[in-house]
Structure 1
């Protein structure tokens, strides 16, 4: 198949990944190309060229919280980049377009394309994307949700055609049968308020184990006020790691603390931890209860640091082999790619049938 993947434009699609969506897009494109498909990724400049990259603009994320004028510039840069892309796609020979962005324009303009589109819903509804989804009337369009939780949140806006749980490269997060001899807990992800790192630091302190922290600082004010004062021997920020170093860090931990302060749509970090054989203690939010079961994780009351500490203490007794087994059952990228390939083929067949039905009366006139 000739597949176009529309990425979001805030960060480059390359290692080290700014977050889970960048990693997911990279994995999706790489796996599809590995299966022999002709894949083109439309993303921001400095993304990985091995994905079949066509850069549509510079990355639009602001390193610092900018002025209203700077934010307006980023908004219009994305708007015009997607508008130009959607116009150009009308004349490109793709069999299917996979909209993996979080922008309103690709989905709202799906009906202008001659080929079908699949849009993956990665987040709960927010005003801009919801407005685009409500405008989507293309019969050849499908919505896929990354979890049952996300599908339920979108149900009042649009029907989800299929739930396709995100997947990870299990080989990229190899099983670690034994943790590091020096015990530690791990937390990793984007360092922003909604990821709740401050809860993990306090919970680790309560149970007396050091916390190793990895990830980019994307909210400097939050980092300076809530995180930096607590860093030291018992809470160490090791920086923004590449894939290999991150897998080694996670694999050496006794448990992973997952502390979202919102309804996490999926939780790739949970899947990665399980793949390494590392038990999870997590706030019971969003899709996380769909990934974890009693063999591999312990759920905590959201925003309750004492409950998180108790969950982490309980998670330390879980078996690493069971964690890996759970990842193999529910988080394998091969299952995810199988599902997307099947969805693409169904959409292409339905689109072809609709075109044939439209032409048939003309042929018999």
Structure 2
């Protein structure tokens, strides 16, 4: 680490579960901060928290399985000092105690995989992959790799112009769901706060019903979010992104989960 660098650790776990941090190379306490999430919140929530809590001009994100070399850090620091807004580097990951390139092709070869099930619309697939492959399409339109596709809805199936590919709906693991007879007096929306998701309509419904609307999800469209909060200041309660445990509890306690039709065509259509 350079003399002006700081190390910010976002631990996606309660503080009582945090392992002891013992390492000769840790920076001094004045240059090290450790922040623990109260519950498991997921990668996106933790990275958003890091951006909010960071005090330096630039941020380098590193997951807990990544070891940056001194050379890589120097090159990124030099690029940022020279005026770059975004920079990156090749990485080496720790996988089961071994150092190896983070390569999908290498991982597939080393683990003797029989069939690949792709969920990235072909983005993560190595070129000229010889293994049998199927891909679940999670977007709209025609898949980037329209071979051996699986669709998640009939509407999406029609949008892609497919006639033979199967439709397998997204599963729900009942063991991960909570059930509560006693409900709390709130309605719930879970998802990205976007005009395409009908959040404004959900807030209008909640206001008409005389119930608060808890909104759990990221708000990247700031203008839309500000209009929503400005029009329904006494209705909406934006709690941000939530992890699986908190999400299950929110759904169990809510009077109703609002999932309104999208004004734009999506994977599940507008029917």
Normalised TM-score (structure 2): 0.57
Aligned twin of 1:227: 228
Distance 2:256 2:206 in 1: 10
Unmatched 5+ stretches in structure 2: 1-39, 46-60, 67-83, 91-101
Give the match's secondary structure for 1:200: helix
Q: Give the alignment's Cα RMSD to 1 decimal.
A: 3.5
Ranges of 4+ aligned residues in structure 1 off by more than 4 Å: 84-92
Deviation at 1:250?
1.9
Q: Where do residues 1-365 of structure 1 align in structure 2 (5 Å cutoff)? A: 15-16=41-42, 46=63, 85=103, 88=106, 91-92=109-110, 93-103=112-122, 106=125, 109=127, 112-125=128-141, 130=143, 132-133=144-145, 136=147, 142-155=148-161, 158-180=162-184, 183-224=185-226, 226-259=227-260, 260-266=262-268, 285-286=269-270
* Deviation string, structure 1 residues 143-168 (Cα, Å, up to 9, x no partner): 1111222112212xx55532211112
Larger radius of gyration: 2
For residues 251 and 264 of structure 1, do their structure 2 counterparts lie closer, same or farther at Cα, with a shift above 3 Å needed? farther
Number of aligned residue pairs: give it.
186
Deviation at 1:178?
2.5
Aligned twin of 1:325: none
Deviation at 1:89?
6.3
Does the 8 Å CA contact 1:121/1:146 hold for their aligned counterparts? yes
Distance 2:251 2:180 in 1: 9
For residues 170 and 96 of structure 1, do their structure 2 counterparts lie closer, same or farther at Cα, with a shift above 3 Å needed? same
Does the 8 Å CA contact 2:229/2:236 hold for their aligned counterparts? no
* Deviation string, structure 1 residues 292-327 (Cα, Å, up to 9, x no partner): xxxxxxxxxxxxxxxxxxxxxxxxxxxxxxxxxxxx
Deviation at 1:88?
4.2
Distance 2:182 2:108 in 1: 53
Give the match's secondary structure for 2:201: helix
Normalised TM-score (structure 1): 0.43
Distance 1:94 1:186 in 2: 41
Distance 2:62 2:159 in 1: 32
